[in-house]
Structure 1
């Protein structure tokens, strides 16, 4: 009798709830790197004196929507993937491009309209860039545990910020121009790192090595 009751109970008992699956997320790293690369490349063309200064406003939409918004979102997705380094880097540099666009579009003209001299505006820009050089320096040290490609990105980016800041703070245009050329190199390395992750993931094997260091 008890055996029959147990069998009947087993037949009528509800099935156990299925195990909760964790949703799969694509790697946001290539997006963040590509957004950084294109925006940095474009601005660096002007900083290096390779593009006419009159065309420089074309950097603003890139700074807002690709280098800024897309890279910031990549940082938020890196938070979801529990990648502290990627989240800090992409969210910060995305915010950098948004802040840069706002600074050029609103703050610089306002300072000039209020009687601030051109030399003082240049000094303010140098201070802005110096802060980012400091941030990039400690991110460079952190990147030593990632890949060789990322170390290359952060090393050249630190030099870019440092040279641009030094050029603005000292008033020596040649230093800022050198920063523009180093910025072009940083952008090219970032494009390579982005292409490597996309290509290797698509092909399912290492096609473009990035030099893993951890």
Structure 2
């Protein structure tokens, strides 16, 4: 594969770097006519398996950038001329930890039934920090990342406002008018976020399995928790459905951490690159198949 082909493929994906142009004495740029056997093996393995342990990449010869954590579905193009770091792992980590704690409580682990401890996380980390990460995504031109991270930061802030004791007294006011008022209202609140997450899920269908699973698990979490509050009949939540929602919330939290690590780990700080598994119909998946076919020809 020539350097020109490698450059074209690089416009669609973050991939193993090709042969660098060689500069002659007069300043003109030339390319080596053929890749070495080792470079061909590296490119073929990367095209087949992607990044990760199966890629069999010699990190000393082919430095790899962090991949899969840009929070940008589709082409996964790196942001050109970025003046600061990738904000997506920060937002993903804030979302993951807050979701993890609430999901453990929803599953009533160790007999914990009240979510008050989540209020601090929802204000400080899942809310404020994630909202800031979303605004930084807007600054680098990532509309999807800005919409998702800022919205879920707003979710955690609104969640904390509802549950803050002695604050806006939303929970107390609704319970004072009958317990069903609070549970039905909160169920509708959660179902609204299920609809929003479904919209976000549609935008991940051309990305990676890791990215898709994050929104898929989160979508099921909102759906099940919304149903749990609506099914309780005003006397509480449907416990089985609530625990199921908590379980999928745990999966969403770990998927968020996985994508965050995929966006942080590179060969300067890690001995491995996490595989994110492109869908075969995605632009990157098609590009890799075409490149592999050219290499095998």
Settle same-fold status: TM greater than 0.5.
Answer: yes
Note the C-alpha offset of 1:202. Answer: 4.2
Distance 1:55 1:92, change over 3 A: same
Q: How far off its partner does 1:177 sit?
A: 1.3
Cα 1:23–1:151, aligned 2, differ >3 Å: closer, same or farther? closer
Q: Offset of 1:110 from its aligned partner? A: 2.6
Normalised to the residue count of structure 1, the TM-score between the two structures is 0.83
Q: Which residue of 2 aligns with 1:103?
A: 162
Could you say which structure has the larger radius of gyration?
1
Asked if residue 36 in structure 1 is aligned to residue 98 in structure 2, the reply is no
Partner of 1:12: none
- Number of paired residues? 192
More helix by share: 1
Residues 105 and 112 in structure 2, CA contact (< 8 A), matched pair in contact too: yes
Residue number among 183, 189, 192 corresponding to 2:249 in the alignment: 183
Unaligned stretches of 5+ residues in structure 1: 1-21
Aligned residues of 2:201 and 2:215 also touching (Cα < 8 A): yes
Paired position in structure 1 for 2:190: 129
**Within 5 Å, which residues of 2 pair with 1:1-214?**
24-53=83-112, 56-105=115-164, 106=168, 107-112=170-175, 115-171=176-232, 172-200=238-266, 202-203=268-269, 207-212=273-278, 213-214=282-283
Aligned CA distance change for structure 1 residues 155 and 68 (closer, same or farther; 3 Å)? same
Residue 64 of structure 1 aligns to a residue in which SS?
helix
Q: CA deviation at 1:207?
A: 1.0
Moved over 4 A (4+): 201-206
Q: Residues 142-187 of structure 1, C-alpha deviation per residue, up to 9 Å, x if partnerless?
A: 0123332111100000000000001111112211110011101110
Q: RMSD of aligned C-alpha atoms?
A: 2.0
Q: Distance in 2 between matches of 1:83 and 1:31?
A: 15
In structure 2, what is the Cα distance between the partners aligned to 1:96 and 1:122? 17
| Contact residue 45 and residue 51 of structure 1 kept, 8 A | no
Structure 2: give runs of 5+ residues left out of the alignment.
1-80, 233-237, 284-297
Q: Is the 8 A contact 2:266 2:272 kept in 1?
A: yes
Question: Shift in Å at residue 54 of structure 1?
Answer: 5.8
CA contact (8 A) 1:136 1:154 kept: yes
Q: CA deviation at 1:201?
A: 6.8
Contact 1:153–1:186 at 8 Å: present in 2 too? yes
Question: Does the CA contact (< 8 Å) of 1:32 and 1:90 recur in 2?
Answer: yes
- The residue aligned with 1:7 is none
Query: TM-score with structure 2 length normalisation?
Result: 0.61
